Amino acid sequence: MTRVALIAHDEPKPDLVEFARSHEEQLSDYELVATGTTGKRLVAETDLEVERTESGPYGGDMMIGAAVADGRLDGIIFLRDPLRAQPHEPDISALLRICDVHNIPLATNLSSAEFLIEGLENAE
């Protein structure tokens, strides 16, 4: 089964929730994993089932990186705030590196997230 991780910095969390709502039918066919706070919002605001890791500041992004290294993820959507990221928010550089090493797509904005979801749908 296709497995996708969902992560968002604080500012774009509402955008990720809206993205999930608009793609809920497709995402419901996937195993979803998200960092703690993002996952909490997705569960509360959609009908999606989401496995939650730790929150980003507590290593949730590293847990998702480990899943990439273990071959347990097919893609990551990480909506980040490139202008106002807070010190407690996950850093994308380690995830970007591990995704590049293992050839796993990583979307960092809504446009690339659309392409990632479309690509996963076409790959099925």
Ordered structural domains, the chain, with CATH: 3-123 (3.40.50.1380)
Q: What is the pLDDT of residue 74?
A: 98
Q: What is the pLDDT of residue 123?
A: 84
**Residue type present at position 120:** L
From 10, 15, 61, 100, the catalytic residue:
61
Active site includes 47?
no
Calpha distance 124→118 (Å, rounded):
10
SS3 category, 37? helix
Q: Is 9 annotated as a binding residue?
A: yes
Q: Is 23 annotated as a binding residue?
A: no
Q: Name the token pair of 31.
A: 């195993």
Left if phi > 0, otherwise alpha if psi is -120 to 50, otherwise beta: which for 77? beta
Sequence-distant (6+) residues with CB within 8 A of 115 are: 107
Q: Is 38 annotated as a binding residue?
A: yes
Listed as ranges, residues in the chain with pLDDT below 50 are none
SS3 category, 75? strand
